[in-house]
Amino acid sequence: MAEDKTHFGFREVAAEDKAKLVKNVFDSVANKYDVMNDLMSMGIHRIWKRIALQLSHVRYGEKVLDLAGGTGDMTLLFQKRVGDAGQVVLSDINAAMLSRGRDRLLDQGISGNVQYAQIDAEKLPFADNQFDCVCIAFGLRNVTHKEEALRSIFNVLKPGGRAIILEFSEVQGSLLKKTYDFYSFKFLPLMGKLVANDAESYRYLAESIRMHPNQETLKQMMATAGFERCEYFNLTHGVVAVHRGYKL
């Protein structure tokens, strides 16, 4: 693929166009995002996120960047861990998603240790060595230049800091893979049409998962970006995986 091309789902598009196409997807689904997450995963996404929290080893007083944080699920978990002495920055490139996340947290009375930023994961506007943990949950597959995002994450982490990447990955087992493919390409778009009035965005979701680097590939990409002690943990037979790497 030429350097100025990338994938938007199964389609090959100009790299400069992908961010706009992804924006359109999340502008469309923002209002139904949380409902659809619960329906699509039958609520299991909440368990995946709690496991990612545990693997992050975030402690009281630390500073966390929640990249592509959307409606704030991970921020809600992190802000309880860091307490009043810590800080969580909820960030997203999409204004509609970030606005829903901010409203949700404020409605729950959460304000003191959470800040908000509309930012691009490929070009983080922070000085080096700022965060104890950077988490990106279900967002990396939508990034155009994943290598740039990983390097940017590495730069803003403090020495000893951790990157946590929670993302859909490669399902393990041929029988489960066939079942998962049927669910993804037949059931998800139908559910998207019925609940969110948007089948195409959920068809893109299924396609983007298949185009995302698998577990071993992403692990190597993290190592190339400078991370050490890189490892991953398959959840639900590889439907998702948590990758962790350290800046030492």
Contact (Cβ atoms closer than 8 angstroms) between residue 139 and residue 149: no
Q: Which helix (H) or strand (E) holds 51?
A: helix 44-56
Q: Is 120 annotated as a binding residue?
A: yes
Q: Is the dihedral of CA 11, 210, 121, 101 positive or negative?
A: positive
Query: Hey, what are 120's tokens?
Result: 């691009």
Q: What are phi and psi of 225, to 5 degrees?
A: -75, -10
* CA distances, 82 to each of 44, 62, 178 (Å): 24, 5, 41
Q: How many helices (H) and strands (E) does the chain have?
A: 10, 9
The Cα 224–Cα 221 span in angstroms is 5
Q: Is 71 annotated as a binding residue?
A: yes
Residue listed under structure tokens 């139904």? 32
Annotated binding site for S-adenosyl-L-methionine: 71, 92, 120-121
Annotated binding site: 71, 92, 120-121
